[in-house]
Structure 1
Amino acid sequence: MKKIVPDPPAIPVLDTAQYETSLLDRAAADRALDYYLPGPKPARPVAAATYEIPDSVNLEAALAQASDLLRCAGASANEVGNGMPGAARDLVLSIGHLVELAKAYVDKSLDNLTTH
């Protein structure tokens, strides 16, 4: 009877010198990865932001502005999606639905907001 898959190779037992060499190789590889693949980028400073919202904006005004922006984004997605065929149309219209859902949550927050 022939075996289709050969036996796996035996794992050799490393002596102390080989074990230390293996650790040194691992440390070198980790240093190389850290150098060429740095961690996440630092947060962008607020001064470099495209749009800066002043601290003086109250919650109700911010939610009202977000609702208006979401309304515009939903209208844009629906208008563009209606002129597209196939899967691209479905994708754009699904974005429109997600925007409408987000707008509904913002509007609900505005309705339940207690003003002082």
Structure 2
Amino acid sequence: MKKIVPDPPVPATQPSPNPPPLNVEEQLSQAWDLLRCASATAFECGDGLHGQPRDLAMATSHLIGLAQSVIGQLIDQWPGARL
């Protein structure tokens, strides 16, 4: 019996099972990006709501924005910051 689907190509290099740990600046930058996404998600969720559910979603977006500001300030003050 012939095989209908070919085997997928074998990657030239295998990914490292344990990638090197991120330094503190990279971790802060990654956290800032995650908070940016969370803020956008909370804002979009609350945009179509009304009353208290909307207020809660927008408050969540605001709090995430405040946390993002703190991390952004840390990144900006980091010695040799690239951002």
Structure 1 unmatched runs, 5+: 1-53
Structural mapping, 1:16-27, within 5 Å: none
Distance across 2 between alignment mates of 1:81 and 1:96: 9
Q: Which amino acid aligns with 1:85?
A: H
Counterpart in the other structure of 2:66 = 101
Structure having greater relative contact order (Cα 8 Å, sep ≥ 6): 2
Q: List structure 1 segments (4+ residues) > 3 angstroms apart after TM superposition.
A: none
Distance across 1 between alignment mates of 2:50 and 2:22: 41
Distance across 1 between alignment mates of 2:43 and 2:26: 26
Counterpart in the other structure of 1:68 = 33
Q: Shift of the alpha carbon at 1:56?
A: 1.8
Query: C-alpha deviations, 1:60-89, integer Å up to 9, x for none?
Result: 100000000000000001111011111000
Q: Shift of the alpha carbon at 1:57?
A: 1.2
Distance across 1 between alignment mates of 2:56 and 2:20: 36
Structural mapping, 1:35-46, within 5 Å: none
Counterpart in the other structure of 2:46 = 81
Report the TM-score, using the length of structure 1 for normalisation.
0.51
Distance across 1 between alignment mates of 2:71 and 2:55: 24
Distance across 1 between alignment mates of 2:20 and 2:50: 44
Identity among equivalent positions (%) equals 42
